[in-house]
Amino acid sequence: MRIKLLLPLAASAAISVYAYDTPTMGWSSWNTYRVNISDSLIMKQADALVELGLDSVGYRYINIDDGYFGGRDKSSGRLLFHPTRFPSGLKPVVDHIHSLGLKAGIYSDAGANTCGNFWDNDTIARGVGLLGHEEQDCNLFFKEIGFDFIKVDYCGADGRQSHQIYAYEPRDRYTAISNAIKATGRDDVRLNVCRWNYPGTWVNDVATSWRTTGDISPRWESVKRIINENLYLSPYAGGGRYNDMDMLEVGRTLSAEEDQTHFAIWCMMSSPLLIGCDLTTLRPETLNLLKNTELIALNQDQLGLQAHVAKLSPENTYVLVKDLGEKWGTRRAVALYNPTDSAYTISVTAEELELEGVTAARDLIAHTDINITDGVLSAAVPPHGTRVYSITGTRRIPRSIYEAEQAYLSSYQEIYDPIATGTAFYFPLESASGGMVVANVGHTPSNDLQWRDVRVDCDGEYRLDLDVTGKADGNLLLFVNNEAAIKLPVEGEGPRRLSSTVRLNKGTNTVRIASTGTAPYIDRMTVNL
């Protein structure tokens, strides 16, 4: 059973800001050209990016995807380049990209063959993947040629998508590749893991970004699916590491409203922004959207946070929110997202946004300041549409309700069957407070659930109420910060509330849930302030 989220779903004063690498911005060749690329095409796109002023708003990487390979030298194993697409090799192309003040990206595979070899019948690309050539290829890419980024696909290691039909363990392959990059002496190379599902929490120590879904296509259903699959992955982004929702299809075949939603949600989610269309034929409205500096600022905010679901309506529209500038500060970004086929008015109160005394509000798409009446942000949002705002208040209100789907699961992964592997997962449940629960906590001490930012304004004793449902036995184990476990009996099957009084420190606390037996579905925690 492979569980993915494909259905509609329902501190202290601000801490110091740290300077992290922000999500990668640039252009990539795959969406429009697949393997049909050349040295002149890549350089022409790089020139166009600068001529259009896209570099001035943050787009800096020109990424050469699949299609440049020319096999390997039979005696040395050295990687060769396509004799007609890149007759002079890759170095002149990279030098040209660098001469424009840009950075250069490259592509490979964790296995023996690439996706283009298998799916596009690019036969010259047989045996050109990193498997068995990690050190050799990384030295070539990053020491000799000077690339600054690499996307590493997984077709050649997947078994189902390679001619060798070998299957490898993703953690092993990507760790070996990461170590080979580090061994070159380059500490500025960005590694993108392209395994098509969230690989597991281990990836944070290996890569800069990682794909969380299958490939995107220029259709609304594809964009909607990818947004849906990322709605509850905010605990796994931040600190210079990002969930990658795939390259942008903006400017191809989506409607203007869908393009706007696509770009705005990628910005809210802090996904890498890699343009996938032909830059030489950009329409003015597409260029204006891609150069919307107020939306880009959300994506490039130094906190690097991914927006989370703050509110789900019965109509399956969403309010997404994230902090800007300071964690637990008074300025937040808010998106009103309507994935449905009907128009709806979406509303959210300042209190639901954890803000008091709203002093400023701005429409980041229309570039206009707005007034919020009676503390309610409201907008009519058309089908497939999104409206995005920044909201500033006088005070941040401590949160009292912590949904389980906003918690970090230490063993979370989307590659293997979570029941078979004994790993916790997010699960849609209509009766849950936010339309979601966490299932399968327990089995091992590390397979836990953590709310890492439980914030209170004062030291003291607080009652925690834990809402659960479903069959269970044994005890839930409640840990607060580094204190000893509190046992909470959970026998039963229906909805029930477990309570315990604990000591919380002023500022942020960590509340962790583990289990000695079969854990129930975990719905939410309430901190009685």
Q: What is the pLDDT of residues 190-227, one digit of tens each?
A: 999 999 999 999 999 999 999 999 999 999 999 999 99
- The pLDDT tens digits for 162-184 are 666 667 999 999 999 999 999 99
* Residue of 215, 278, 465, 473 with catalytic role: 215
Which of 121-125, 162-166, 238-242, 354-358 is least confident? 162-166
Q: Identify the pLDDT of residue 350.
A: 96
**Does 106 score more than 70 pLDDT?**
yes
Q: Which amino acid is at 78?
A: R
pLDDT (mean) for 261-284: 98
Q: Identify the pLDDT of residue 89.
A: 98
Q: Tokens 């050649």 map to which residue?
A: 156
> What mean pLDDT value characterizes the chain?
94
CA distance 82 to 69: 5
Which of 46-55, 231-240, 415-424, 487-496 is least confident? 487-496
Q: Identify the pLDDT of residue 445.
A: 86
**Does 13 score more than 60 pLDDT?**
no
Give first-to-last CA distance, the chain, whole Å: 40
CA distance 345 to 367: 20
Q: Identify the pLDDT of residue 3.
A: 38
CA distance 365 to 289: 9
Q: Which amino acid is at 390?
A: S
* Residue from 333, 340, 273 nearest 307 by CA: 333
Catalytic-residue membership of 39: no
Q: Identify the pLDDT of residue 159.
A: 73
Share of the chain above pLDDT 70, in %: 95
Q: Identify the pLDDT of residue 160.
A: 78
Q: Identify the pLDDT of residue 164.
A: 66
CB 300, CB 22: distance < 8 Å = yes
CB 331, CB 390: distance < 8 Å = yes
Q: Identify the pLDDT of residue 12.
A: 30
* Residue from 377, 379, 375, 378 nearest 397 by CA: 375
Q: Residue 451 — φ and ψ, nearest 5°?
A: -95, 110
Q: Identify the pLDDT of residue 529.
A: 87
Residue 379's Cα: distance from chain center in Å? 26
- The pLDDT tens digits for 88-105 are 999 999 999 999 999 999
* β-bridge pairing 401-403 and 408-409: unpaired
* Residue of 153, 244, 301, 453 with catalytic role: 153
Residues 6+ positions from 99 with CB-CB distance below 8 Å: none
CB 328, CB 15: distance < 8 Å = yes
- The pLDDT tens digits for 346-380 are 999 999 999 999 999 999 999 999 999 889 999 99
Q: Identify the pLDDT of residue 165.
A: 66
Q: Identify the pLDDT of residue 2.
A: 31
**Does 511 score more than 60 pLDDT?**
yes
Catalytic-residue membership of 215: yes
Q: Identify the pLDDT of residue 5.
A: 38
Q: Identify the pLDDT of residue 229.
A: 97
Q: Identify the pLDDT of residue 274.
A: 98
Which of 115-119, 137-141, 152-156, 164-168 is least confident? 164-168
Q: Please give the angle made by the CA atoms of 250, 255 and 258, to the nearest 5 degrees.
A: 65
pLDDT (mean) for 14-20: 48
pLDDT (mean) for 328-352: 97
Q: Identify the pLDDT of residue 19.
A: 62
Q: Identify the pLDDT of residue 346.
A: 98
Q: Identify the pLDDT of residue 161.
A: 73
Residues 6+ positions from 394 with CB-CB distance below 8 Å: 330, 356, 357, 358, 359
